[in-house]
Amino acid sequence: MSIDTISEGLRAIVGDAACKSGTDAARYYEDPRGSFTGKTCRVVLPETTGQVSRIVRFCNETGTPIIPHGGGTGVVAGQLSLESSDAIILSVERMNRVRGVSTDDFVMVAEAGCVLENIHAEAERHGMMFPLSMASKGSCTIGGNLATNAGGIQVLRHGNARDLCVGIEAVLPSGDVLEELSPLRKNNTGYDLRHLLIGSEGTLGVITAASLLLKPRDRATVTAFCAIASPADALMTLRALRSTIGDRLDGMELMSGLGVRLVREHFPTLKNPFRDEYPWYLLVETAGNPGLRDETETALAGCIEKGFVTDVVIAESQAQRDALWSLRENTPDANKKTGAFCSSDTSVPIGQIAAFVSRTHAAIAAVHDGLRTNSYGHIGDGNIHHNVFPPEGVGKTDFLDAHPGIAARVREAINEATLPLGGSISAEHGIGRLKPHDLQRHSSASKMAALRQIKRAMDPNNIMNPGALFSDLLP
């Protein structure tokens, strides 16, 4: 079918104003890190689940590939068409209503295009909280969060996106609507299709709404910034805080000395609260009832006494908390501005963190000994990201031109160092179009066969996000 006929069919469903193409749609082809550029595609912006259903049915009949798009903050190119301009990008951004909040069930029903930060605000308006958060919270959508089973900074206490979703509404590749938005906590009625769609990266359907699990709001939050000597000391601190503070330990982010320096270089208004520089830092947050500050202070003083922590500052106000978190939240931007050409996302069992950092650093140096690495991230979940830069004084483009294939070699070196520790090649960002070969290479034949059988059974015409997860043509 010709491109014109397909465009006409889409316009008939959503109207002219909800169809974009060419330069009008430029932002849908961009990648947040500037590592990929998507092909120019037609973009369609439905407003209701009924419209999504009609679009998907139409695409299934015409064999038109669909790439679901939320906030476009995904970092593995799952939301971009890298292969051809034949696909349509289906953006859920206009489906951004909160359909309701049940204070008895502690559940919010939100449409897929709701921006994560707006969900936080809506939960707060009802005296509750939605504890999924990450630096992209101002742009990413709950549909994208679920499609990637996003992690972020509170997984230690509240789990991944999957753990915060009790129900889902989605349009399946046939165009049929799956309505499973019940707030029930107990509902064992066959295969849980919600969990199949969560983490499926748009390859099994379009998520249109979700029932999200809210939590009682914390009445006190304590944020501390610790200077430490090594990732091994970070692990000792984590163990010590878990045994004293228990599950009120809300977040623990590791930051390298290089990373904090780069953030300050690119965002000069941000300050390192310590006068001296240290090799590593830990951003620690505890949350619960009033009185927690004293407990946190005592626990951290214990860590200093035992030699795990060199120095600590504790935020005295919301402004100071925000300033400490700004150091962490601006890290991805600082990496981009510095010229990161590889940004890893692997995980290991928590007890292996110190071995992970030293082995992966050695593996990166073995690829090229001038590379600089900023390691940071969610130490409480065993998920440290490495951002790898060219040698000091060398620009990214010049370096990549002079060393073809080096980004893939560094990524593979990190994978090879991660796996013997019992780790995963994709912790929280997903596979997208960046890692299908890694997935194929490092998964068992039985796992790959099961993944393919599920994909074929649900999407026999391979219209949902072809090219993501699997690199080959499926059917």
Ligand X SMILES: Cc1cc2nc3c(=O)[nH]c(=O)nc-3n(C[C@H](O)[C@H](O)[C@H](O)COP(=O)(O)OP(=O)(O)OC[C@H]3O[C@@H](n4cnc5c(N)ncnc54)[C@H](O)[C@@H]3O)c2cc1C
Residue 167 interacting with ligand X (CB under 6 A)? no
Residue number, 141 or 415, with CB nearest to ligand X: 141
Q: Position of tokens 């045994």? A: 243
Q: Pick one of 141, 237, 286, 426: the residue that binds ligand X (CB under 6 A).
A: 141
5 phi, psi to nearest 5 deg: -65, -40
Q: How many residues belong to the site for ligand X (CB under 6 A)?
A: 37
**Chain position whose Cβ is nearest to ligand X:** 144
Considering the rule CB under 6 A, would residue 173 count as an interface residue with ligand X? no
Query: How do beta strands 107-111 and 98-102 pair?
Result: antiparallel
**Of the candidate residues 46, 131, 143, 390, the single one contacting ligand X (CB under 6 A):** 143
The yes or no reply on residue 410 touching ligand X (CB under 6 A) is: no
Tell which one of 19, 43, 56, 75 touches ligand X (CB under 6 A). Answer: 75
Specify which residues 90 forms β-bridges with.
Answer: 44, 68
> To 10 degrees, the CA torsion angle through 369, 370, 371, 374?
110
Return the residue of 70, 183, 231, 380 that touches ligand X, per CB under 6 A: 70
Q: How far is CA 117 from the centre of its chain?
A: 14
- Which residues have a Cβ under 8 Å from the Cβ of 61 and sit 6 or more positions away? none
The whole-angstrom distance between residue 8's C-alpha and the CA centroid of its chain comes to 35
Q: Is 49 in the site for ligand X (CB under 6 A)?
A: no
What tokens were used for 236? Answer: 């000792």
d(CA 136, CA 232): 29
DSSP string for 365-404:
HHH-TT-EEEEEEEGGGTEEEEEEE-STT--HHHHHHHST
Quick one: CA torsion of 187, 188, 189, 195, rounded to 10 degrees? 90
Pick the closer one to ligand X by CB: 10 or 146: 146
The answer to whether residue 245 forms part of the interface with ligand X (CB under 6 A) is no
Q: Is 84 exposed, middle or buried (0-12, 13-18, 19+ CB in 10 A)?
A: exposed
Query: Is residue 152 a contact point for ligand X (CB under 6 A)?
Result: yes
Nearer to ligand X, 359 or 378 (CB): 378
Give 256's Cβ-side CA count (13 Å radius): 19
Decide: helix, strand or coil at residue 123.
helix
- In the complex, least distance from residue 455 CB atom to ligand X, rounded to whole angstroms: 14
55, 88, 147, 287: residue in contact with ligand X (rule CB under 6 A) = 147
The Cα 111–Cα 106 span in angstroms is: 17
Number of C-beta neighbours around residue 462 at 10 A:
18
Among 67, 214, 379, 410, interactor with ligand X by CB under 6 A: 67
Q: Which residue among 59, 88, 92, 315 contacts ligand X (CB under 6 A)? A: 92
Q: Which two tokens stand for residue 291?
A: 């009185």
Binder among 46, 65, 71, 199 for ligand X (CB under 6 A):
71
Q: Which of 211, 310 has the CB closer to ligand X? A: 211
In the region spanning residues 429 to 458, those forming contacts with ligand X, defined by CB under 6 A, are 429, 432
Tokens of 438: 């890694």
Q: Which of residues 110-139 bind ligand X (CB under 6 A)?
A: 112, 134-136
Site string for ligand X, 367-406 (x = CB under 6 A): ----------------------------------------
Residues 189-228 that bind ligand X (CB under 6 A): 201-202, 206-207
Determine the distance from the C-alpha atom of residue 58 to the mean position of all C-alpha atoms in its chain, rounded to a whole number.
31
Give the number of other Cβ atoms within 10 Å of residue 44's Cβ: 25
Question: Which listed residue (81, 272, 347, 465) binds ligand X by CB under 6 A?
Answer: 465
Q: CB 125 → ligand X: shortest distance, Å?
A: 22
Q: What region, left, alpha or beta, does residue 77 occupy, with left being phi > 0 and alpha being psi -120 to 50 degrees?
A: left
- Decide if residue 467 touches ligand X (CB under 6 A): no
Q: Rounded to a whole number, what is the distance in angstroms from the first to the last CA of the chain?
A: 20
Task: Note whether 253 binds ligand X by CB under 6 A.
Answer: no
Provide the mask over 6-45, with x wherever binding to ligand X is found by CB under 6 A and - wherever it is not.
--------------------------x-------------
Q: Which of 46, 68, 199, 390 binds ligand X (CB under 6 A)?
A: 68
Q: Is 344 in the site for ligand X (CB under 6 A)?
A: no
Is the CA virtual torsion 122, 125, 129, 135 positive or negative? positive
Place of tokens 């990524």: 411
Among 49, 60, 81, 148, binds ligand X (CB under 6 A): 148
Of 59, 150, 198, 384, which lies in the binding site for ligand X, with binding defined by CB under 6 A? Answer: 150
Is 145 a binding residue for ligand X by CB under 6 A? The answer is yes
When asked if residue 346 is in the footprint of ligand X (CB under 6 A), the reply is: no
Tokens of 362: 């050695």
Structure tokens belonging to residue 433: 């179009």
Chain residues binding ligand X by CB under 6 A are: 32, 67-75, 78-79, 92, 112, 134-136, 140-141, 143-145, 147-148, 150-152, 201-202, 206-207, 332, 428-429, 432, 465, 468
